[in-house]
Amino acid sequence: MNHQDKPPEENLTRSVEFVLLGFADTPHLRWFLFGLFLSIYIIILMSNGTIFLLTKLDPALQSPMYFFLANFSFLEMCYVSVTLPRMLMDLGTQRRRIPLVACAAQMCLVLMFGGTECLLLSVMAYDRYVAICHPLHYPLIMNHRLCIQLVTGSWMASIPVMIGQTYQIFSLPFCGSKEINHFFCDIPPVLKLACVDTFVNEIFQYIVAVLFGIVPFLLILGSYSKIISTILKLPSAASSSKAFSTCSSHVMVVVLFFGSTIITYLRPKSSHSEETGKVLSLFYTILTPMFNPILYSLRNKDVIMALRKLLCK
């Protein structure tokens, strides 16, 4: 009997090299998409990098709100750098092949940064809740030690969970098609390529989506319901307007990011559309990092003043 005829499943999986189809169905738009996404990537890095730099250099931007904003901007730069450079390389070279290890690393980083963003957005909502609903106790509650703990917890909490989820997915045998109809290695399109039952993986995916998506989203909704209730009780119309302006940008980022993420990872498998999945992924991996500095800086007088001072110097 020849044992070479049928290699073990482990060897099958290790020898896998995936193909990221990305936007292969629109070859006529190849260079337009390349230019578009390259421009977006440069805008994201420059705008988020500027906010991060301003919050570190300007003494007027040393409050907890800007400490969280600096971490959020840094996170957005890391998040987008996991997917966009690979997408640009695939558009430019048309190679599209990605080894299993690189695919697993990309998925793990996307999940880790995405989970961190969910938690950090809820922390930022809590910060606004304390600032508006308990202004006299704000310096005492949001002290430097608590801010460090909240940010560290947001960064660290998702690491073991997402590593475990990625390991669980890439322990599966992939012996069918190797084409991933996506522009990065995401959970739903990769699970479709496994040649075994993925029910356990899907259940784990839903559990993680609830823990890092639904729970933080509900906490944010709770924070903003309290904030709105407090704002409506303010005697001054100017105070109400200023409070709404401070929080509206956060709400817009939250709705854009959580809406697309929750729909992507909590949709029933029967309703999964690969094209819809790609469009939704563009929202939470590219559009949110691009809109974040616009929504936070152009609507914030302190950031604009800090930018003017930096440019004058």
3-state secondary structure 234-279: CCCHHHHHHHHHHHHHHHHHHHHHHHHHHHHHHCCHHHCCHHHHHH
Query: Residue 1 falls within a domain, yes or no?
Result: no
- 257-277 b/e (C-beta count within 10 Å ≥ 16 → b): bbebbbbbbebeeeeeeeeeb
Q: How many other C-beta atoms are found inside a 10 Å radius of the C-beta of residue 144?
A: 10
Query: Residue 2 falls within a domain, yes or no?
Result: no
Query: Residue 4 falls within a domain, yes or no?
Result: no
Contact 12, 173 (CB under 8 A): yes
Rounded-to-integer distance, Cα 107 and Cα 112, Å = 9
Here the CATH number for the domain that contains residue 168 is: 1.20.1070.10
Count how many domains the chain has.
1
Q: Which pLDDT score, from 0 to 100, does residue 2 have?
A: 46
Domain that residue 52 falls in: 9-312
Task: Tell me the pLDDT tens digit for each residue of 207-238.
Answer: 999 999 999 999 998 998 898 888 877 776 66
Rounded-to-integer distance, Cα 254 and Cα 111, Å = 17
Q: Which pLDDT score, from 0 to 100, does residue 298 have?
A: 61
Query: For strand 179-180 and strand 17-20, is the pairing parallel, antiparallel, or unpaired?
Result: parallel
The one-letter amino acid at 129: Y
Query: Residue 225 falls within a domain, yes or no?
Result: yes
Query: Residue 137 falls within a domain, yes or no?
Result: yes
Rounded-to-integer distance, Cα 103 and Cα 98, Å = 6
Q: Which pLDDT score, from 0 to 100, does residue 11 have?
A: 47
Residue 55: partners with Cβ closer than 8 Å, 6 or more residues away: 61, 62, 66, 67, 69, 70, 73
Q: Which pLDDT score, from 0 to 100, does residue 297 have?
A: 67
Residue 93: partners with Cβ closer than 8 Å, 6 or more residues away: none
Q: Which pLDDT score, from 0 to 100, does residue 153 have?
A: 95
Mean pLDDT by 10 residues, the chain (313 residues): 46 70 85 95 93 88 90 94 94 90 96 95 92 90 94 94 95 87 92 90 93 93 87 70 67 84 81 76 88 73 81 76
Rounded-to-integer distance, Cα 29 and Cα 71, Å = 35
